[in-house]
Structure 1
């Protein structure tokens, strides 16, 4: 099985899963900003593995199938599990936060199952991709100092409830262009740096 990880695209996907594991450890340690920063790297790996796959010559069908399954599993972790656990921890395990986290995981699994079956249609996704979750968390945590303490958690939870509903909706979202990939890369680099900076200064 390990030979499949020698494929460049699968190696990038596996690196993203590794980052997801580190992000989960950061959540368990209560370092939410750091977890989101690392989650951005997982998201970036997910955006890049498809590009690498297209540029890898003579890629076998069995390698591609393993890569597709590996990519889907990685998407569930960084796109649904990590944001859900961050929400649960942010809500101190209260019923509303726990219920929302479970809803996010279930919706994420359903969305990815649908995508695995249907894929892109005419260059469009059906439903908002899970790759929007971690960047939205990053924006919230970067702007957290400007939020009144009593409004931050409710705002985050309401936003993620609405976003989760959009994941399983029929809304059509265009696939990222080459320019958008550059924007995603720049956003991930800058945002993760800012969040890590927040983590260091909050000690």
Structure 2
């Protein structure tokens, strides 16, 4: 099993998973902005592993299958679990917020499982990809200073509920390609910088 991680694409995916666990740890310690910043880099790892895999011309088929499932599990942690934990940290463990976190995790797991079986017909995803939860979370926390403290957890919860519904909705979403990779990379880099600065009190 360990040998599968010597595959460059799988190694990138595993690195993203490690970053997601670090993001969760930071959030649980109360440094949520720093956790979101790290989660954005986990998202970049998720985009990078696919690009690396496309360039591995001698990759074994089974290694690719392991990578596909590893990628889904990593996405579940970064996009299905981390945003819910961030919500529970800022909103408390009220039943409503716990239900929202569970809903997002369940919708993410279903979306990823469906993708592993049915793929992306015609080059388009069915349902909004789970990874969209990370930039949504970043946007919410970037806007946090201008939102009333008591209102923020509720707005964040509503945003996650809507996204959970979109994960399993029968809509077609184009894949990230070409120039959009640059847009995603720039967003993650700049947003993480702002969140890190805020997390350290600047």
TM over 0.5: yes
Offset at residue 153 of structure 1 (A): 1.6
Aligned equivalent of 1:160:
160
Please say if 1:52 is aligned against 2:62.
Answer: no
User: Where does structure 1 lack aligned partners over 5 or more consecutive residues?
Assistant: none
* Alignment partners' CA distance in 1, 2:151 and 2:16: 32
* Alignment partners' CA distance in 2, 1:65 and 1:38: 27
Offset at residue 119 of structure 1 (A): 0.8
Aligned equivalent of 1:193:
193
- Cα deviation, 1:47-78, whole Å, max 9, x if unaligned, reads 11111000012001121111111111101100
SS in 2 for 1:125: strand
SS in 2 for 1:114: helix
Please say if 1:138 is aligned against 2:138.
Answer: yes
Aligned equivalent of 2:6:
6
Moved more, 97-106 or 145-154: 145-154
Please say if 1:20 is aligned against 2:20.
Answer: yes
* Alignment partners' CA distance in 2, 1:170 and 1:92: 32
Cα RMSD after superposing both structures: 1.0
Aligned equivalent of 1:66:
66
Structure 1 stretches of at least 4 aligned residues deviating more than 4 Å after TM superposition: none
Offset at residue 178 of structure 1 (A): 1.2
* Alignment partners' CA distance in 2, 1:100 and 1:47: 26
Offset at residue 91 of structure 1 (A): 1.6
Aligned equivalent of 1:126:
126
SS in 1 for 2:151: helix
Offset at residue 132 of structure 1 (A): 0.8
Aligned equivalent of 2:182:
182
- Cα deviation, 1:133-186, whole Å, max 9, x if unaligned, reads 111111111111111223222111111111111101101111112111111111
* Alignment partners' CA distance in 2, 1:5 and 1:113: 22
User: Where does structure 2 lack aligned partners over 5 or more consecutive residues?
Assistant: none
* Alignment partners' CA distance in 1, 2:137 and 2:62: 35
* Alignment partners' CA distance in 2, 1:19 and 1:160: 21
Corresponding residue pairs, total: 202
Scaled by the length of structure 2, what TM-score is found?
0.97
Aligned equivalent of 1:150:
150
* Alignment partners' CA distance in 2, 1:75 and 1:144: 24
SS in 2 for 1:99: helix
Aligned equivalent of 2:88:
88
* Alignment partners' CA distance in 2, 1:71 and 1:53: 11
